[in-house]
Structure 1
Amino acid sequence: MAIAQIYVNLPVTDLEASTKVYLAMGGTVNPDFSGDTSVQVAFADTILVQLMTRETFATFTKRSTSDGPIEVINALAAGSREEVDRLADAALAAGATEPREAQDMGWLYNRAVDDPDGHCWELLAYDPSAL
């Protein structure tokens, strides 16, 4: 059996503010899996981010959701450098922050944005033939 979808579940402090950032990065809300304490944002049929209030998220784990060291950097591939810049700029305008400068390695270009809770997302475009 092959993996069919990826779901990234994230605890957030302000559901509305976080949703705004993810929509700015190109996602759309799936109303079937959204409500007062959780919003599902789809980036594709197979890439879904479930934003949950910290209280709702805590019902799925016994581990603490307190701030701590970063444990994961998520990445979304875009079609071009211009699309990376457009999505990153839109996320920043929606309330994200940029934790570092853009990286241009010739074959790969990326920018990182942190959502309001510090969840890091790299937006990238690459040309494997130029590697």
Structure 2
Amino acid sequence: MDVRIDDQIRHLDEEIFEKEEQANKLERCADQLDERARNLRQLAHTQRGNGILWGFFSTAAGLALTPFTGGASLVVGLASAGIGAKISYDSSEDCERASEKLRENAKTFRHDVAVLSGKRDELKLKKKNLSSSFSLF
């Protein structure tokens, strides 16, 4: 009986170790995504500042070319001013959402570790009680 309990304990220890490793990996990936989101937000902020200047010039060029392009150059000039900042900002939000999901998954793994640790502790107690009862004989 002790051998089976030892095998079960060993199996639980391995499973606990694997789940802890998975949770740690997920949290490290979430940290990397958070850093990427911060960088993208900073880039969006920089692009927004540059976009104002670029927007001014592209709008001025669009106005100058409007008689020749039927207004299409004005639309292109105005649109180009905000596209880069919008893309970076949307990408940062995607990174943040993915990071939150990874952290939720890591939390699930940590919960699994707690449950498995409880089972392991119960088996260790059972083994101790069995050993005590056999030593009385």
- If you compute each CA radius of gyration, which structure gives the higher value, 1 or 2? 2
**Structure with greater contact order relative to length (CA < 8 Å, sep ≥ 6):** 2
**Per residue, is there more strand in 1 or in 2?**
1
For normalisation by structure 1, the TM-score amounts to 0.21
- Give the TM-score of the pair, scaled to structure 2: 0.21
Task: Indicate the structure with greater helix content.
Answer: 2
